[in-house]
Amino acid sequence: MRTVCLLSIWFAWAVAAQAADCPDWPPARARQELAALRARLDGWNHAYRIEGRSPVSDAVYDQAEQRLAAWRQCFPAQAPAPLAHLADAGGRVRNPVAQTGLAKLPDAAAVAAWMQARGNRDLWVQPKADGVAVTLLYVDGRLRQASSRGDGLHGSNWTALAQAIDAIPKRLPQAPARVVLQGELVWRLPGHVQAADGGVNARAAVAGALARNTLDAATAARIGLFVWDWPSGPPAMPARLAGLAAMGFADSAALVQPVASLDAVKHWREQWYRHALPFAADGTVLRQGHRPPADTWQASPPDWAVAWKYPAASALAEVRAVNFTIGRSGRITPMLELAPVQLDDHRVQRVSVGSLKHWRELDIRPGDQVEVALAGLTIPRLQSVAWRATQRAAVDVPNPARYGPLSCWQSAPGCEQQFLARLTWLGGRQGLRLAGVSAGTWQALADAGLLHGPLDWMALAPEQLATVPGWDANRAAALARVFADAHGRPFGDWLRALGAPGDAVGAGEDWAALTAQGEGGWRRRGVGATRARQLAAFFANPEVRSLAAQLRLAGVQGF
């Protein structure tokens, strides 16, 4: 939850990109939407700074803040007062040196430009530890004060809590009379690989611990310290690093590396992303070795240090539409159509809500903003509803009472999705394994008016198949051969293709015997009550019986 500097390259770029596409809102709506977003950001700030919770990731917070800035540009007359980012932090201790924060660069090109502007000289890179910033003041070698970042100038007094954290030295050997250190309190994660493990809520764990009045020994032992600067140390970086090592911070000093090219920055960025570190890191930090005197620092991002964050593990996305897919079994799955967002190397435009019940609980509508992430680094996953549009759009929701395992055997209005799902199952690896036949094949046949029932394809001649737009005679002939071969598939394959409950497939009998079982017969075979009812209902269903009669006339084995 960091203040994003309006002068930073990243922020200016992001605001300009979003402002180029302003929402089409009347003034009253704009005022409502901006106020709602500002209130949400205030709530997130309070939760993080006061309660020690992280309701959303840093990436989502930053994106929401950028969204608010862009909307303010779109609707200056309707904009609320600027965010007082840390005004509620409650900190009353003055930091001995201002905590500056960091501007964030969006990509390698921006990093290269920043380096070139400094002649690619006296530049250094270090991991951007994902923890909670702390300032430590030592006088005559003894810890005098530990304070939070707060608003950069004033923070919370953590001196008492610091006494319980072994990672914070209480005395410094070989230290000058007055030493101010800035660093990050991190959650110890031995062997942590950021690319594989992600942030694992490490920052929230530290923030939650520091929000308490006291620390138990087990929690205190999980907190580590990464010192990332000695503001009033020697002017040259090598001397500062040597001094840090002499004072006992050799591990921190070893993670600061000289760089003179973008390739060198990329090397260390990849190294720290894909190899083990003892804490979570959400990017890299580039610094000039020489910088202004510490007493001139301000509580805003400087031009002598920047961050280049790792690909976002989660992102903020606007919901453009809510659609519903109906599967073969009649299950209704809400799908969110999103304004495209980039997660790692994936462009995410759709995400599943999971179930109709879950969607109703969340009440997601077009215009809402949601947080999405990648499950297993590949599959988009809905994390949360970041905030809701103030005006709730209507959504056309399918009636779940209309759909079930035995509905939509024909291509009737409202049944198109389930009917297509039945055909996709029938021809897929679960059923007849029809080579070269996909959901697109069935859709093309249905669009051409050649499919109304699930077995109509069995009677299609090559001449009919060739009438499908985009299909030539060779394609039609090949598909006709695949369809003809399906007649000879075993009875069990056909049962699976029709969607018969699994207990029927291995029964080893013909259609007549299975139909005669009834619920009682299945129960006597040891089938549970629920599955027995499903089996009896399937074999008694008039549509299913009609399909069995068609297969019998076609000479398919077992029918």
- 3 state DSSP class of 192: strand
Architecture of the CATH domain 9-78: Orthogonal Bundle (1.10)
Tell me the average confidence (pLDDT) per consecutive run of 10 residues in the chain, 559 residues long.
39 46 91 93 78 74 88 93 58 89 93 97 97 96 94 91 96 94 97 87 86 90 97 96 96 97 97 96 96 94 95 88 96 96 86 95 95 80 92 94 95 94 95 94 95 95 95 95 94 93 74 91 90 94 96 93
Report the half-sphere exposure of 485 (CA within 13 A, side-chain side). Answer: 12
Among 14, 30, 72, 13, which residue's Cα sits nearest to residue 367? Answer: 30
Cα–Cα dist 385/349, whole Å: 16
Cα–Cα dist 538/499, whole Å: 9
The pLDDT tens digits of the residues spanning 401-413 come to 999 999 999 999 9
From-to residues of CATH 2.40.50.140 in the chain: 314-395
Residues acting as catalytic residues: 128
Domain 93-309 grouped into CATH 3.30.470.30: yes
- Residue 376 confidence (pLDDT): 65
- Residue 51 confidence (pLDDT): 65
Length of the chain as a residue count: 559
Among 339, 335, 360, 359, which residue's Cα sits nearest to residue 348? Answer: 339
From-to residues of CATH 3.30.470.30 in the chain: 93-309
CB atoms within 10 A of CB 31: 17
The pLDDT tens digits of the residues spanning 462-511 come to 999 999 999 999 999 999 999 999 999 999 999 999 999 876 766 668 89
Cα–Cα dist 102/10, whole Å: 11
CATH number attached to the domain at 314-395: 2.40.50.140
| Token pair of 28 as six digits | 């009253």
From-to residues of CATH 1.10.287 in the chain: 9-78
- Residue 10 confidence (pLDDT): 43
- Residue 509 confidence (pLDDT): 80
Q: Read off φ and ψ for residue 179, nearest 5 degrees.
A: -125, 130
- Residue 86 confidence (pLDDT): 46
Among 497, 474, 471, 473, which residue's Cα sits nearest to residue 486? Answer: 497
